[in-house]
Structure 1
Amino acid sequence: MTQQILKRRPFMIFRRAAIAVLSAWLLPVAAFAQANEPTLAKIAKTGIVRIGHSAENFPFSYRQPDGTVTGYSTELCLEVVERLRQRLNLAEVKVEFVERTPRNRVAMLRDGDIDIECVASTNNAERRKSVGFSYPHFITGTQFVSLKKSNLRTIDDLAGHTVVATSGTTNIGQLNTINRERSLHIAVIPVETHKDAFQLVTEGRAAAFVMDGILLAAMVAKSSNPDDYELSSDALGWPEPYGLMVRLEDTEFREAINAALVEIYSSDRIEALYEKWFTSPVPPEGINMRVPMSAELKAAFDNPKDPTD
């Protein structure tokens, strides 16, 4: 009996090793297949949709003190999900919120970790090479914020200063381009989060923070001393739209989202959502952004279409 066990052992070791190798190979294959399965079909099969959110992008997507994910983009996405549920004739759809960052959001979509990103992502030609976008749900331009005492109001005022921008955003690219074209000799410092960048300005370790104007206005409004800050009078580029992000070439899902948005935009619901988040006190601190709907955004709601830049 002992001899038989000894004779089998090399084969058993080989078999276990083969199984381990096969498993290691099959896991990424399965993950790849899942990530590339049409999203609508996956939702219909599982009854689950995974929404990518931010922890800090007030008032678009953020966590409240109790951990609840909320915000303008979040609520809009939930409205879209409800219409997808009706389209798929499902009794219910479970929403799973998955936190993402500006740096990893595209990879998380590509890898299937999230199905849709509902935050404040700029839709431009360069980014559309990597991901798909819904019709616009907000429009804003790039500005910078600085301490009022620094007297920095125009782009040229930034010459020779240290300026921060969040990694993975279009804003840092705009800043680098202007810096190079105008020979401003700005020391551009990438940081991981908007919160970190704003803190560097607050502490005087950076002269300015370049970001979407609406997000800067929100951060100033939420700060302990809003009067200490000033937004630039200059913009670093033309206003650009935000869109809900989906996987590249997931055409059926994108079209379903756009159909849902057309319904929402043609009803009174979009005006109610906008008023709740941009012209009324917002929980939990009761901050009122006092940002009326721009003519550009109203036109985007009245005639939803893809950007042509």
Structure 2
Amino acid sequence: MKKSIPSNLIITALFLTLGLSLCSQLSQAEAQDNTLERIKDTNSFVIGYRNEKHPFSNVTAAGDVEGYSIDLCNGIYEKLKHDLDQPDLELKMVEVAADNRFDYVQDGKVDIVCGTTSWTFKHQEKVGFSLLTYVTGAEMLVKDDSRIRSLKSLKGKKAGIIYGTLTADTIAKRVERDQLDIELVTYKHPKTGIEALENGEIDAYIADRIILIGLLDAADAPNDLKLVNRFYTYDPYALMFARQSLDFKLLVDRYLASLYRSEKSLELFNKWFSHMGIRSNENILRAMFKLQSIPE
């Protein structure tokens, strides 16, 4: 069985992934670059978000959209107002789902998606990506009294996965490749999966560690659940926009790099992740901030 991915290899993978953001593609440059023009002409900036993705994007009981990724995009909104000299620029929020978020970007229904999209080459065939915003990997959540420690120990059992995610795709392929006797149950909404685990409908819940931690913090009985502490994938998150929009990408990356060079990045970390302690992969995130502090 393939071994789980240790943290030092995730940091190495982070170095390799960062190189992608420095490579421009001629085919993109030749395509129509219209995101900034659309924002100017409509005098509006449209953010796509996914609900139930705490602490990255979530709708509060009061109906407000908040989260780490939303804060990043609010900063981009302020930069747009300044750089475009449009102080009355309107901010709009549009909810997207796993199965329509790429279409919404390609069709120009949203200017950017602020959430937990994994930057992969397969995704990059459809859309463009900013500098990285977070680095995580697939983890497993089980009952506190469970003896499950790996995919192998899930033999003859059920595991929940989240529909439309890189983790779900990777785990499904792994189960098929290794001929593991595991029944995978797919959930469209992350909260539904953790409720199924709490109710004993599944034996484990596999998703990105940081998403599981967010769900665990909001669980009815968090002490009854535990993380297995093994990574099964490498998942770099980034903001997503039209693949051909190089001018917009430059503006977004400029904002993120300046943020990562400042104390503001640590303020955002403290706001959204510090309460999670070592579970938040603080060292990896700090390395990501430092590596992407590209000078002006």
> What TM bracket, shorter-length normalisation?
0.7 to 0.9
Match of 1:10 in 2: none
**1: distance between equivalents of 2:129 and 2:277?**
27
How many residues align structurally? 262
Which amino acid in 1 is paired with 2:282?
Answer: S
How far 1:71 sits from its partner (Å)?
Answer: 0.8
Which runs of 5 or more structure 2 residues have no equivalent in the other structure? 1-31
1:65-123 C-alpha deviation (Å, 9 max, x unpaired): 11011111101110111112211111222111111122221122122221111111111
Which amino acid in 1 is paired with 2:81?
Answer: R
Contact between 2:79 and 2:255, CA under 8 Å: does it hold in 1? yes
Whose Rg is larger?
Answer: 1
Aligned with residue 157 of structure 1, among 149, 153, 159: 153
Match of 1:147 in 2: 143
Aligned with residue 217 of structure 2, among 195, 218, 221: 221
**2: distance between equivalents of 1:123 and 1:174?**
14
Aligned with residue 184 of structure 2, among 173, 188, 191: 188
Match of 1:265 in 2: 260
Contact between 1:135 and 1:305, CA under 8 Å: does it hold in 2? no
The answer to whether 1:77 aligns with 2:108 is no
How far 1:234 sits from its partner (Å)?
Answer: 2.1
Higher RCO (CA-CA < 8 Å; seq separation 6+): 2
Match of 2:113 in 1: 117
Which runs of 5 or more structure 1 residues have no equivalent in the other structure? 1-35, 280-287
How far 1:296 sits from its partner (Å)?
Answer: 2.6
Which amino acid in 2 is paired with 1:275?
Answer: N
Match of 1:278 in 2: 273
Structure 1 residues 37, 249: closer, same or farther in 2, change over 3 A? closer
- Normalising by structure 1, report the TM-score: 0.80
The answer to whether 1:211 aligns with 2:207 is yes
The answer to whether 1:86 aligns with 2:82 is yes
Which amino acid in 2 is paired with 1:200?
Answer: A
**1: distance between equivalents of 2:206 and 2:281?**
23
**1: distance between equivalents of 2:200 and 2:293?**
42
The answer to whether 1:50 aligns with 2:56 is no
Structure 1 residues 106, 235: closer, same or farther in 2, change over 3 A? same
295-304 or 209-218, which deviates more? 295-304
Match of 1:290 in 2: 277
Secondary structure of 1:171's counterpart equals: helix
**2: distance between equivalents of 1:295 and 1:220?**
21
Contact between 2:157 and 2:203, CA under 8 Å: does it hold in 1? yes
Identity of matched residues, %: 26
Which amino acid in 1 is paired with 2:277?
Answer: R
**1: distance between equivalents of 2:218 and 2:270?**
18
- Normalising by structure 2, report the TM-score: 0.83
Contact between 1:144 and 1:209, CA under 8 Å: does it hold in 2? yes
Match of 2:237 in 1: 242
Q: CA RMSD in A?
A: 1.8
Match of 2:9 in 1: none
Match of 1:233 in 2: 229
Contact between 2:257 and 2:293, CA under 8 Å: does it hold in 1? no
140-149 or 66-75, which deviates more? 140-149
The answer to whether 1:304 aligns with 2:276 is no
